[in-house]
Amino acid sequence: MHESDRESSPTTSAKILVADDDFFNRKYYREVLKREGYVVDEVSSGEEAIDSIAKNDYELILSDLQMYKIGGLDVLRAAKERNPNTQVVIMTGYGSIPTAVKSIQQGAFDYLPKPVTRDMLLMHVRKAIEQRELQLRLQEQQQRLELYKKMIERDLKLAEKVQASLVPKNFENENIAVAIQYHPTLGIGGDFCSIYNGSRDHVHLNMVDVTGHGIAAALIVNRVSNELNNILKTNPKPQNILSSMNTFFYDTFGNMGLFLTMMSLHLDFAKRILTYAGGAHPAALFFCAREKSLSLLASKNTIIGFDKSPQNKFSQDKKKFEPGDKIVVYTDGLLEAEDKEKHEFGIHGLLASANAHITEPVVQASEHIIQDVCDFRDDFHRDDIMIMIVEIL
């Protein structure tokens, strides 16, 4: 045995079937392969080969192309029907090369022209078995990928349901009517809003936009939702809500480069005063029913989670409201929607849409504004979009 042959010999014994109607060729192949550690069966006809294939699992079949009645192509078909991973090498005389090439087109690994030398035989056998092992590894990896895909799809569906449960439903009581539309990029995302009724005389409305998309952003939203509920139990001012959320977010995620924007609103129905504070969030819209005009409720504070700013750094503003007035709060995905020429919907697009629909009931108004955004943008959904419209009753 050559030293190179010894180094490349298989570490485990592959089972090989040799099919050839020539006695001396068959014995020669068998002896060469057995000396290399392979397990070898031999048959003298195509019929015997097909019968042996039906009863055994072979890694490799070496078959003569021309045999009485049933030839190598029939053996090839039987082998592939039994196990597509079984490799087949066709051995043929010079005059049958075109047929041997046809065998490769039908699934044979390769063909060997006769007379077959020892080195050529062993080289083709090794390559064929390596090809089989590669196919099996690829199939195993594909099966794992399919399993992971199903797991991810299942987890995504669960995450969608969990996040959908966090988004408030359309809401109405004796004081306000609220409509909410949420369109995440990937089924789940980083936008979130809440309605918190502390008492009959006041309500807290908050909207949050976490950096990022998909599962990671949705997980952060879930944590933010829990923390916000704890903060709201003390009936804090909007500026204090932003301060508390900033401290929490910086302490929890500050080393990860994550931030969020936030708009916090407090409606005092006894005094008819709106108090609001925004942390780098897009300006909300305020519709004055008496004047039939829209104005901006500017966001004047820093982005949430950037640094551990002291509480007195967060400011808030106040505005009187009357029955019929409306407030529109939204995330930046609405403004950043682009058409095919890369023009953004922007604040001008939002103001135009709001002016067209703000006098409609809040549910219809929210649906129509989102529809205007969808009609404007191209097919690519770049960012999560959320809108909340509140009417004072």
The pLDDT tens digits of the residues spanning 234-243 come to 999 999 999 9
Q: Where are the alpha helices (DSSP H) in the chain?
A: 3-7, 23-35, 46-55, 72-82, 97-105, 118-166, 214-232, 238-253, 332-335, 346-357, 362-376
- Residue 288 is assigned to a structural domain of this protein: yes
Q: Classify residue 162: in a domain, yes or no.
A: no
User: Which domain covers residue 108, as residue numbers?
Assistant: 3-139
Q: pLDDT value at position 219?
A: 87
| Higher per-residue confidence, 5 vs 240 | 240
% residues pLDDT > 70 (the chain) = 96
Helix orientation angle between 118-166 and 23-35, rounded to the nearest 10 degrees? 60
Single out the residue in 121, 139, 157 at which a domain terminates: 139
Q: Based on the number of CB atoms within 10 Å of its own CB, is 357 exposed (0-12), middle (13-18) or buried (19 or more)?
A: buried
User: According to the model, what pLDDT value does residue 213 have?
Assistant: 79
Residue 10 has pLDDT above 70, yes or no: no
Say whether both 107 and 195 belong to one domain: no
Residue 280 sits at φ, ψ, to 5 deg, of 60, 20
Residue 110 and residue 172 in one domain: no
Residue 20 CB partners (closer than 8 Å, separation 6+) = 26, 29, 42, 44, 62, 63, 64, 67, 91
DSSP state of 256: G
Please count the structural domains in the chain. Answer: 2
Positive or negative, the Cα torsion across 77, 81, 84, 85? negative
Q: Is 198 found in the same domain as 337?
A: yes
Instruction: Please state the separation of Cα 272 from the chain's center in Å.
Output: 46
Q: Which of 206, 237, 224 is nearest to 311 (CA)?
A: 237
Measured between alpha carbons, how far is residue 146 from residues 21, 141, 172, 329, 331 in Å? Answer: 44, 9, 45, 41, 35
pLDDT computed for residue 329 by the predictor = 98
User: 115-133 burial string, b = 16+ CB within 10 Å, else e?
Assistant: ebeeeebbebbbebbeebe
Same domain, 178 and 130: no
Beta-carbon count within 10 A of 340 CB: 9
Mean pLDDT value across residues 350-360:
97
Same domain assignment for residues 57 and 183? no
- Contacts of 87 by beta carbon, 8 Å cutoff, 6+ apart: 59, 60, 61, 109, 128, 129, 131, 132
Q: What is the pLDDT of residue 9?
A: 44
Residue 213 sits in the same domain as residue 120: no
Which amino acid, one-letter code, is at 202?
A: H
Q: Which two tokens stand for residue 329?
A: 């709060």
What pLDDT shows up at residue 12? 52
Q: Kindly report, residue by residue over 193-229, the tens digit of the pLDDT.
A: 999 987 889 999 999 999 887 888 888 999 999 999 9
Record the tokens describing residue 252, joined without a space: 């929890």
Whether residue 154 is contained in a domain is answered as: no
Burial group, residue 354, by CB count within 10 angstroms (0-12, 13-18, 19+)? buried
pLDDT at 256 over 90: no
